[in-house]
Amino acid sequence: MPPPPPSPRRPFAPGALSPAVRGGETSGGRGRRGGMAGPARAGGAPGGGRGGQLPGALGAADAGTEFEVGLAAGGRVVLVAERGPAGGRGRLRSLRRCPDGERGGGGGLPLAVAEAVREACVAPGPGGGDPVRPGLVRLPLGLAEGETEAAAAVEALGLRVVRPGATGGGGGGGGGELLKFARLRGAGESSRRGGDLATAADFFGQAAALLPEASAEVFSDLAECHLELGDAEESLRRANEAVALEPAGRRGHVRRGAALEALQRFEEAAEAYRQALRGAPRTDFDASLELMLQHALRAAGAAAAPPPA
């Protein structure tokens, strides 16, 4: 059976977010399942300016100060304000416009968020005030697939970050976990591009174990790598995790279908491809998905047919 065409994969480029994240990306490197070259250290000393670490002159964090990031103008403007005592928005600290055509993932909006937070720390901003290193930075709703990248970029500034809906400092970030997640996933992407699928799977697996709810994409990454490595059962397990985390996501269903085909569970594979097509925005990949669905249906029919007399 010919392998299915690759599934659509949203780009994940931690290097586009900040020098701190880019400094931690590594391709790893090993040819077999032995010792692995781990990801680069979480430290590093990125340069100042755009996306760099905060100046040491700001000193220790002010645990009582929180910054709240907001989006305006349909996500084209990022604003950062101090969080008021009752949870409302206080003094405005910075405003930054997202580059035209770069909303969402891939570095545009996430980078704008990180730079707006940095400006809020080092400059008084339009609302006035002194430089401050906040104890916590709260991200807004509306970042969509750029949420993990934005959180990692803020952590690269040396700040604690909490994602939407969390009630305290441990809600989906803080302590460098998201930055480490971004570096591990970036290292996995580098290894995959270099053809070292075993190392890529190890890096993706570390990222998934570190923050299992951060992104369904990393489980799809794992499913794809394991299928190409010949382990269809493990590929199916990882694809199931991707679907459980993001039921409406297309890629998890595609990877699940591919694994089921490899296991010759053709009717289930066809249903997985139907799920991938159902409710998703129409894209150029739909034609390939339709072919994959038809292939699974033909294989299911052939498997169900009685043997020739």
pLDDT tens digits, residue range 72-126? 887 788 999 888 766 666 788 888 888 754 444 445 888 889 899 998 888 766 6
Report pLDDT for 41.
31
Report pLDDT for 45.
31
CATH topology of domain 64-174: Nucleotidyltransferase; domain 5 (3.30.420)
Report pLDDT for 82.
87
Report pLDDT for 58.
67
Q: How far apart are the first and last CA of the chain?
A: 25
Report pLDDT for 145.
65
Q: What is the pTM of this model?
A: 0.59
Q: Same fold for the domain at 64-174 and the one at 179-301?
A: no
Report pLDDT for 206.
94
Cβ atoms of residues 119 and 96 within 8 Å: yes
CATH number of 179-301: 1.25.40.10
Greatest pairwise CA separation for the chain in angstroms: 87
Report pLDDT for 26.
33
Report pLDDT for 24.
38
Question: What residue spans define the domains of the chain?
Answer: 64-174, 179-301
C-alpha R_g of the chain: 22
What is the mean pLDDT for each group of 10 consecutive residues in the chain (309 residues)?
A: 50 40 36 32 34 62 83 86 73 82 57 90 70 86 75 85 57 59 87 95 93 85 96 97 90 94 93 84 72 83 72
